[in-house]
Amino acid sequence: MADIEGSLNIDINGNSFFQEDYILLLEFAIAISAWLGKIEKGIFQDFVYETMDYSEGEIIEFNPQNDKTWVVTSIWGKGNIATNLCIQDIIIAVKDFLADFQKDIYDKFSISLKNFIN
């Protein structure tokens, strides 16, 4: 998982929320894909991304505030601020990221993200 790294940029409402040039993208994709799978089954739980590269805590978190609004935070985020988002917006962004990432790793390495997901 440590072999596939790259840039991860998260923009919220046109503003840069998170930007990291060297993040373990495959590790992140596996974690966020597992979270999305649970959300799609109606299991609404926090998303917490921790990496093997950094042991000081969670890098990105999504936490439900109520039925529709989630708080998005990151200790590496620009200004370390929390942002409230609709869960549907998060789901759409996650699906877009996973589709783009799948295409990129297939084009570059001829591998499928599905090979790493249970």
64 φ/ψ angles, rounded to the nearest 5 degrees:
-70, 135
| pLDDT, average across residues 82-94 | 90
pTM of the model: 0.88
Report whether pLDDT(81) > 70.
Answer: no
Strand bridging mode 60-64 / 15-24: unpaired
Domain ranges, ordered by start, for the chain: 5-116
At position 84, the amino acid (one-letter code) is N
Give the rounded percent of residues in the chain with a pLDDT score beyond 70: 92
DSSP state of 54: B
Report whether pLDDT(23) > 70.
Answer: yes
Strand bridging mode 69-74 / 60-64: antiparallel
**Helix-, strand-, coil-residue percentages of the chain, each rounded to 5:** 40, 30, 30
